[in-house]
A and B are shown apart, each in its own frame.
Chain A
Amino acid sequence: MDWQQIGNWFVMFLSGCGVALEIFVITLVCAIPLGVLLSFGRRSKYKVISWPVSLYISIMRGTPLLLQLLFVYFAPRYLFGLNYDRFLAALIAFVLNYAAYFAEIFRGGIDSMEKGQYEAAAALGMSKPQTFFRIILPQVVKRVIPATANEVITLVKDTSLAYALSVEELFFMANRQTSANGVITPLIIAGVYYYFFNLLLSILFRFIEKKLNYYK
């Protein structure tokens, strides 16, 4: 076994980790707020809002992310002759897809809140925004943490799908090294990176869950 070479790969793949991390962070930062908005839209009493949002969510959840990635990049090209940045295309696809999943999680969390909480707040004269931000939201956050954690961990692994658009992230690099050298080691190294990053995340989420466990 060539330890030197293995070490080289570990270092070489750091840039791929950086790209994957970029996708990961930007997706979360955009998809979570968008997911919150979509969850409101999904719960809207106005059908002109709730219906299209439901359709959107069901399409995003009902078709492969890989297909969506290719669609976001290639549809503008084949339909309008528009070429644009592959990395940007990957980001757009991830955000659109993950926002739909987050929306469903948040919607479930909001729906699970007892009517009594709203009524107690209303009886105390609290306004709708006060009720939402002071009473409902903090409890919803606690309730959606486990499902959100699952989704976030899935996202780490899903960033590898960006390789389909030749975005030079971790998996893309490892895959190329594996083909070029005819050894499996680069893919294993990529797996190690993914695994440890997710290990960190699950520790972080366990910590957050514990922090929020001061009430039931």
Chain B
Amino acid sequence: MVMLKVEHLSKKFKDTEVLKDISLEVAQGEVVAVIGPSGSGKSTLLRCLNQFEQITGGKVNICGDDMIVGQGKNGVIYAPKPVLKKIRLHVGMVFQNFNLFPHLSVLKNITEAPIRVLKKPKEQAQQEARALLKKVGLESKENAYPCELSGGQQQRVSIARALALNPKILFFDEPTSALDPELTGEILKIIQELAKEGRTMVVVTHEMSFARDVADRVIFMDGGYIVEEGRPEDVINHPQKERTRAFLERFTSLRSMAEPQD
């Protein structure tokens, strides 16, 4: 089953087109890693799919629901509000800077949406939240506030928060980029476990080893285009396009420079 289908998506900010003719499909249970230099449009793509940005052209279908029903002069025509809301609940989002609610405890961060949006009974929402906290290894932190947690812990809470709505597809925008290097592992491990459970995920990342080991497919973006996509070992180890090669080369040389020599 296709969980996400994007056809010829384009996005302009004023006159600059930052996404150009993006087409992609994500099947159920598939993990797709999106890589590419900064400014290539990776975040904008996720933001368009999350309805944070007005899409300029193209079509998007998420879990069988059309997000876009037509094309106007200055942008696409969106589906009616109830459909958009339904789509929204199919999609879970994990942000680079976590975006936890600082005034709410860890538990309330997770239960807020299930209680307010899904109208779940409080007890049930809390029980489920505790199970999720256990899953991300934070069962002892339910009463803590986000400011009392490390970056890695905060990101784990934000993953639990997204999972609490049981989304059909999960988007991650550089989930480890705001973290100290020694904390990235714990997050990547959780994403890997989610992959094993068969979650459908699109992960924007600069962690090539993660893309190689966890993703079923890698998409390389540059300049607003999808330049190359395919199996991780093909794209990362044997890139076909010059631009992919250049990016990966720069990347590995940067990485080896940054890594401690011992």
Determine the chain A residues whose CB is within 8 A of the CB of B175 once the complex forms: none
**A124 interface hit (Cβ, 8 Å):** yes
Complexed CA–CA distance, A206 and B118 (Å): 38
The secondary structure that dominates the A interface is helix
CA A189 to CA B89, docked complex, whole Å? 64
User: Do residues B51 and A215 form an inter-chain contact, with CB atoms below 8 A?
Assistant: no
Most chain A CB inside 10 Å of its own CB: which residue of B50, B85, B116, B165: B116
Residue A44 at the chain B interface, CB threshold 8 Å = no
Q: How far is the CA of A117 from the CA of B102 in the complex (A)?
A: 9
Asked if A154 is at the interface (CB within 8 A of a chain B CB), the reply is no
Question: Which residues of chain A come closer than 8 Å to B165, judged between CB atoms?
Answer: 124-125
Interface size counted on chain B using CB atoms at 8 A? 28
Residue of chain A at shortest CB distance from B50 = A123
When distances are taken between beta carbons in the complex, the residues of chain B under 8 Å from A139 are 102-103
With known contacts A130-B116, A134-B112, A216-B147, A124–B161 Cβ distance under 8 A: yes
A22 proximal to B (CB < 8 A)? no
B146–A125 touching, CB < 8 Å: no
Q: Tell me, in angstroms, the Cα distance from A109 to B102 when the chains sit together.
A: 15
Partner of B146, one of A116, A119, A215: A215
Q: Is B91 an interface residue, CB under 8 A from the partner?
A: yes
Of B51, B95, B103, which contacts A116 at CB under 8 A? Answer: B95
B145 touches A214 (CB 8 A): yes
Please tell me which one of the listed residues B92, B97, B99, B116 contacts residue A126 in the complex, with CB atoms under 8 A apart.
Answer: B116
* Residues on the A chain within 8 Å of B101, using CB: 117, 120-121, 135
A122 within 8 A of B: yes
* Bound: A214/B145 CA distance, A: 8
Any A CB within 8 A of the CB of B35: no
CB-CB contacts of B88-128 with A at 8 A, as 1s and 0s?
11011101010111110000000011001110000000000
How far, in Å, is A183 (CB) from chain B's closest CB? 53
CB B68 to nearest CB in A, in angstroms, measures 18
Q: Please tell me which one of the listed residues B51, B89, B99, B147 contacts residue A120 in the complex, with CB atoms under 8 A apart.
A: B99
A142 within 8 A of B: yes
A114 CA / B146 CA spacing, docked (Å): 16
A216 to B102, CA, bound (A): 7
Q: Using A117-B101, A123-B93 as known contacts, list a sample of 6 further A-B pairs with CB atoms less than 8 Å apart, ordered by residue number in A.
A: A116-B95, A125-B117, A127-B117, A130-B117, A135-B101, A215-B145
11 contacts between A and B (CB under 8 A): A116-B95, A116-B97, A119-B93, A120-B100, A124-B113, A124-B162, A125-B113, A125-B165, A126-B112, A126-B116, A139-B103
